[in-house]
Structures are given as structure tokens and as C-alpha cells.
Chains A and B, each alone.
Chain A
Amino acid sequence: MTYFTSWEEFAKAAERLYLADSLKCRFVTKYRHCDGKLSVKVTDDKVCLQYRTEHAQDVKKLEKLTGHLMRHMASKEK
């Protein structure tokens, strides 16, 4: 699957994929300091959503999404 161009769309799709089957979904963040690149991937081994960036302002958005999903993962909700 190709990369998303907008973070907002990516975040929305990622959340939807996670909620569809929360136990199957994984959230991968890859950071390359030497190239100044960051990529994020969310997949359930059927659908794969990806986003990549070189801009520092995306880190804050990533932190927000990570925190949000992490809270849900370690919760009592289904």
C-alpha cells in the first residue's frame, strides 16, 4: 500500500483499523536519525497503512496518536 500524504487521514484510518480488531493490529514507528526520516506503519497483516515524513512538526502529532492508542491498548475496553 502506498504512503498517505496527509497525517490527518492517516491517523483516522489507523484508528479505524485498530478498532476493527484491536488484538491483531500493530503500530510500528521507525526513526532514522542519520537520514532525518521517520515512518509510521499500522497493519493487521491484511491492510497496511503507512506514512513517512522528514518534518519535525509531525513528531508532536505522532506523540499524540501514540499516546492515544497506547491508552486504549492497556485498558479494559474491548
Chain B
Amino acid sequence: MLLENDAFLTELTKLFLKGKTTGSVTMTMKRYDGRLKPKPRSGNLPEPNEYKCLVRASLGTKKLTTVINHKDVTKFQMAYGNLLKANMDGLKKKDKKAARGRKKAKATQ
């Protein structure tokens, strides 16, 4: 499903929530030259003057896609980064006690 940048982010948040119980959320990012037709067999296409970024996300059979234009990249990149940080919260937190113990051990060595 091809979405606008903002809609993609909202749907991705939903995807993350759905993936809390089971399954993997996969995100793929790729450079995209903006072509909508296959590459011609002969002759080269002129170089695009601006590249885009294609972002895909999936959970099970649900798939999301969006294309980011150069002018929107700063905004999207920040929102996307925050979204990742907010939603990837199931990982192990740094064990402060262990870190302190290690430091102490180093100091006494």
C-alpha cells in the first residue's frame, strides 16, 4: 500500500503496536530513481537530477510503502527516528549495576 509520508508514519506506529505480541516488523530502505516504467533494454536513461528514498515496512502480510522526496527528507527522517526510538522499547536496558561493578573491578586492577 503506497502511502503519503505522514500516513505511513501513523500506519507504521500501528504496525509496531500490532507486532508487540508476535511477529517481526521489517523496514527496508532503498535509494529510488523515481522511475515508474521498466528500464529500457537499449540506451541509457538520463541521470535523474534528484533521487528519492523508498521506505517499506511489513508485518506478516501487511505491507506499507512510501516515497520520500528530497524536500521532505529532513522532516521525515526526524519523525522516523523518533518513531523507531519510541517503539523499539522491548530491548534490554543497560544494566547500570553491572556497569558499575565492571568499573570498580577495573579500578582495583
Q: Return the contact of B51 from the options A53, A66, A73 (Cβ within 8 A).
A: A73
- Nearest-neighbor residue (CB-CB) of A60 within chain B: B85
The distance from the CB of A62 to the nearest CB of chain B, in whole angstroms, is 7
Q: Return the contact of B29 from the options A27, A33, A77 (Cβ within 8 A).
A: A27
- Total of A-B residue pairs, C-beta within 8 Å: 127
Question: Does A59 contact B84, Cβ atoms closer than 8 Å?
Answer: yes
Interface size grouping (class) on chain B: 35 or more
Question: Does B31 contact A25, Cβ atoms closer than 8 Å?
Answer: yes
Question: Does A56 contact B25, Cβ atoms closer than 8 Å?
Answer: no
* Complex CA distance for A58 and B93, rounded to whole angstroms: 10
B-contact 0/1 string along A13-55, CB 8 Å cutoff: 0000000001101111111111011100000000000000111
Point out residues on B near A: beta carbons under 8 Å. 16, 19-33, 47, 49-53, 55, 68-70, 72-74, 76-78, 80-81, 84-85, 87-94
